Amino acid sequence: MSDRIILHCDLNNFFASVECYLDPSLKDKNVAVCGSVEERHGIVLAKNESAKKFGVKTGEAIWEARLKCPDLVTVPPHYDNYVDFSRRVKSIYEEYTDMVEPFGIDECWLDITGSTTLFGDKMKIAEELRTRVKNETGLTISVGVSFNKVFAKLASDMKKPDAVTLLTEDDIKTKIWSLPCNELFGVGRKTAKHFNSLGIKTIGDIAEMPEDIMNRIFGKNGITLRNYANGIDFSPVLRENEVPPVKSVSRGITCKRDLHTYKDISPVVISLSEKVSHSLRKNNFFATTVRVAVKDNKLAVHEFQQKIKTPARAADILYKNAMELIKKNYFFFLPVRAVTVFAGNLVKDNFSYQLSLDEDYNMLEKLEKIDAKVDFLREKFGSDVIVRASTLKLNERERIQSAFPSFKPSDL
């Protein structure tokens, strides 16, 4: 376990740092990179260190951030610049090892196990990377040094900005187990809340939970998190051409107006289902589960999932399951701001499965053929060449119905 040397390099306040570097007038100001209010993306995407000290948080609404920091300077995102800087930083990493695995645009894991004979010990390499990134790009990184990916990432989060932190096996009980459980890689807000409700407060609590109980409550993910808490993680750092297997396909959208009813949300779900369906066909996958994430206008996310009776990728099947989940679980106590549809637990199109006596396989085949024809037409003539009536804007529906009185969009 201790033979590997893994680094986790995290660009500090990345979007905001790039904006401040390119516009020196922002250097001594409280800066936040924010989405467009007009397009319903009016949230904080990133903030610089000084804005962070006022309590400005990623993901909160701009008006909330301004309450905490009245002189906050907001700037729009410039994604081309972020991609350019990300590539420049990654090229520095690749001078030390070819085993570089991006984790988003601003983070990378590096396996430098075989690099020490050329470049010196692990701390020398980490410090050299930190210094070079600062000198050559004007940005800073936090570097975590450890014996696996999970603890390397944990280490990089412990001291920011512009720092190097080492975690060894000897640190597991003394430095790591006392940390809150939500600081462990893989523990999101929802899982942390579930842990806390069970009296599991720290990473050490996770580590000492009996395996059978973790499996019973959280399934395989519970066992994985217990292993992480005990320092057990053998996952490799993947080179750029070593792509991990696809586990799910998703499409989401932030709506330009709040959705208040199932009738409002239905056209959004069918449009997203069509996009997921197209991606599944393009990559020769079938889905065995459907998951929906609904974000309300207070930015709380509600997720629901269910298995599909027969592996499928037809848009109508994905839509039917997604809407079924929403109607069973979401009751519009708050209007909906954003929706995402996921197709999960994917299997290849040559996958063998048990046939069901109550499934209409002829209908499934027809739906599959229709979707394939629609794909062909859209790829040849453009995405708008054929659309579902249910996704047409209201004025477009009225124009068609005036020309064809018998036309009923709800029937399609």
Catalytic residues: 107
CB atoms within 10 A of CB 32: 28
337 φ, ψ to 5°?
Answer: -105, -40
- 10 Å CB burial of residue 62 (0-12, 13-18, 19+) is middle
Give me the half-sphere count of Cα atoms (radius 13 Å) on the Cβ side of residue 202: 12
Tokens read off for 210: 């009996």
Rounded Cα distance, 348 and 286, in Å = 6
Rounded Cα distance, 294 and 259, in Å = 11
What residue type is 13 in one-letter code?
N
Query: Looking up tokens 């207070």, which residue turns up?
Result: 298
Query: Looking up tokens 């197709």, which residue turns up?
Result: 343
* Distance, first Cα to last Cα, the chain: 58
Rounded Cα distance, 257 and 234, in Å = 45
Query: Looking up tokens 């904006």, which residue turns up?
Result: 19
Note whether 32 and 65 are within 8 A (CB): yes
Closest by CA to 388, choosing from 278, 220, 274, is: 274
Note whether 82 and 105 are within 8 A (CB): yes
Q: Percentages helix, strand, coil for the chain, rounded to the nearest 5? A: 45, 20, 35
Rounded Cα distance, 26 and 303, in Å = 39
Rounded Cα distance, 13 and 46, in Å = 6
Tokens read off for 211: 């395996």
- 10 Å CB burial of residue 297 (0-12, 13-18, 19+) is middle
Strands (E), 212-274: 248-259
- CB within 8 A of 329, min separation 6: which ones? 302, 304
